[in-house]
Amino acid sequence: MLATLTQEDFNKQVNTPFIIKTNKDDLALELTEVKVLRKAQEENQRDQFSLLFKGDPQRFLPQQIYQLNHKIMGELSLFLVPIGREHQSSHLKEGAYLYEAVFT
């Protein structure tokens, strides 16, 4: 299924939660951005794109494949890479962890 998904499929789900079931509880990641990295060179190829997710500032997820569930897209296995933290205006709070999934 992942091989047939395009950035348009994910664009429709920006600002919606994708849920990871963990041993402890469910963890929501919000899809915040879909970015085209490279346009397809041939008609039978898809554009290369990335997904940016925002997670809980108190729960770090290491780089690995996660099973994400979405109310419309269903279950997806995505390789998520932590790429930093969201910037906060207050120096007292840490921002949400940011994660990226890349489709080539």
Amino acid 87: pLDDT: 75
Per-residue tokens: 96:
């949400």
Residue with tokens 């990641």: 29
Map residue 32 onto helix, strand or coil.
Answer: strand
Amino acid 90: pLDDT: 58
Quote the CA–CA distance of 68 and 95 in Å, as a whole number: 22
pLDDT tens across 41-100, in order? 777 777 899 999 999 999 999 999 999 999 999 999 999 999 999 876 555 567 899 999
Quote the CA–CA distance of 40 and 48 in Å, as a whole number: 7
